[in-house]
Amino acid sequence: MTMSKNEFKKIAVIAARAGDAKKGHPIVVYDLAGKSPLADYAVLVAVESAPQLDAVEEEISIKLKQDGIYCLHKDGMRSKNWKVLDYGGVLVHVYDIKAAEFYAIDKVYSDFRTVEWEEAPAAKAAPAAKPAIEKPAARKPAAKKIAAKKPAAKKPAVKKTAVKKTAPKKAAAKKAKISKKPVKKAKPAKKTAKKK
């Protein structure tokens, strides 16, 4: 069964997105069609460690198997710095950044065109056409906003002094004791006789 260039492109894009799901970076897809006898597309996925290398390779295999696409050949399965997965028209390179610098992999593919593989953000829906005559919109009552309750600020406790309440009779007795001072009686006014 032979595949078309578009089918190989889909495989390359799936592989790139699977590598991205496992935090491979940078990821580049190259279009080799008509220029290379080996494949129509090459996917390059850089990783930072050997465990990440294994995780990316496994994720790519799983995602493509879900679509019924199986790897024809694997190379470097025991390697801790480079693996190549051959899907017929698509070569997937998963490699350590240090190995890429050593082998100058970017120079190998520098003459080839890159392919956009990242999902574009969802396009905004076009606004609906406005009717020729606009009717004034019915006003709706404004929705009441519920104020968010703020926690009450803690105030310092105020000390209250106890005030002793006394019974009315005791209060009167206390007043009497206090007022036991001799009260000067007012002297009666002298009557002066009027002289004639």
Residue ranges per structural domain of the chain: 5-115
**Residues 20-60: tens digit of each pLDDT:** 999 988 899 999 888 888 888 999 999 999 999 999 999 99
Q: From 42, 80, 74, 48, select the one nearest 61 (Cα to Cα).
A: 74
Specify the higher pLDDT residue, 34 or 119. 34
pLDDT at 187: 59
pLDDT at 131: 46
Q: How far apart are CA 48 and CA 97, in angstroms?
A: 6
> Whole-number mean pLDDT of the chain?
75
Residue type (1 letter), 18 = A
Strands 82-86 and 27-31: unpaired
* Cα angle: 67, vertex 72, 74; to 5 degrees: 110
Q: Is the model's pLDDT at 122 over the cut of 60?
A: no
What is the percent of the chain with per-residue pLDDT over 90, rounded to a whole number?
Answer: 28
Q: Is the model's pLDDT at 63 over the cut of 90?
A: yes
Mean pLDDT of 82-97: 91
**Residues 131-163: tens digit of each pLDDT:** 445 555 555 555 555 555 555 556 555 555 555
Domain spanning 5-115: CATH superfamily: Beta Polymerase, domain 2 (3.30.460.10)
Strands 41-47 and 27-31: antiparallel
